[in-house]
Homo-oligomer: A and B are copies of this chain.
């Protein structure tokens, strides 16, 4: 318990600070997410509880793409140690990566559950139209690049919010580049995005499940792309790369149909990243000739 601290490498969402609740990690592989207000925490907990034992979820999909759920735990609040607040206990998805690079990508042109109350729908719709969500089927909510030399690039959130489609392309290029120089060498594109264990292969496996699953609709959930530059370089061919789904406060049960909104966005992300890999390999080829 004494080792609990805010995660160093978080890229999106609420952060722990004095007088503010935020996620904590224990350094031994667990991540504590405070239950959110306005029923969101209860809804996220209900999702994890249902999902973690659902007989129709393939174990490989659950293990590979979702944080493992370890129940809940009351933790004293930072502001007032006499009080306590319930936390959802999950695997720490960055565990074992000394210098993780992380991109948080909110999937779906539409982030509002169809039966949500009107003011919430209006708020989400404005954000979806004001960001790349409607045009692109996803938006980048956070990004942090830590290269093999330990240099870090962490754009602030206002920079992300104003991003257009070419801006997203640049960010997903920078995500696999060294931090120095102009930050666009795409040196790790093939190793992180390509290959048998890379981002694209993992996203395509996830896509195959979304083409058939009629259990849940994952409104406003994110895909985290995670890698460690040194692990990727050491392992080669996509080792040291993780793809995980997070943020389930707005997941709803399906009415017997697939999550076409998430699937469409996921397909768009796959094509978008595949194009970056293709352009990078063209660059490398023409540089060699």
Which A residues between 194 and 234 are near B, CB-CB below 8 angstroms? Answer: 211-212, 214
Contact B114 A134 (CB under 8 A): yes
Q: Please, which residue of chain B has its CB at the minimum distance from the CB of A165?
A: B255
- A68 to B136 CA separation, bound complex (whole angstroms): 30
A129 within 8 A of B: yes
Which A residues between 105 and 150 are near B, CB-CB below 8 angstroms? Answer: 109-110, 114, 125, 129, 134-137
A75 within 8 A of B: no
Q: How far is the CB of A18 from chain B (nearest CB, A)?
A: 41
The stretch from A238-246, A256-264, A281-289 touching chain B is A256-264
Contact B257 A263 (CB under 8 A): no
The stretch from A44-52, A55-63, A153-161, A266-274 touching chain B is A266-274
Contact A165 B114 (CB under 8 A): no
Task: Pick the residue among B169, B214, B263 that contacts A264 (CB under 8 A).
Answer: B263
Q: How many copies of the chain does the oligomer comprise?
A: 2
Q: How far is the CB of A289 from chain B (nearest CB, A)?
A: 26
Q: Most B CB atoms within 10 A — which of A169, A257, A272, A275?
A: A257
- A125 to B124 CA separation, bound complex (whole angstroms): 14
Task: Pick the residue among B256, B260, B271 that contacts A257 (CB under 8 A).
Answer: B271
- A214 to B274 CA separation, bound complex (whole angstroms): 13
Task: Pick the residue among B114, B169, B260, B268 that contacts A265 (CB under 8 A).
Answer: B260
Contacts of A257 in B (CB 8 A): 135-137, 165, 268, 271-272
What are 25 inter-chain pairs, A to B, with CB distance below 8 A? A109-B260, A110-B110, A110-B134, A114-B135, A137-B257, A137-B260, A137-B261, A165-B255, A211-B271, A212-B271, A214-B271, A257-B268, A257-B271, A258-B267, A258-B268, A258-B271, A260-B264, A260-B267, A261-B264, A263-B264, A263-B267, A263-B268, A264-B264, A264-B265, A264-B267
Q: A114-B129, A136-B257, A260-B264 are in contact. List 12 more A-B contacts (CB 8 A).
A: A109-B110, A110-B134, A135-B255, A136-B260, A137-B260, A165-B257, A256-B275, A260-B265, A260-B268, A261-B264, A264-B265, A264-B267
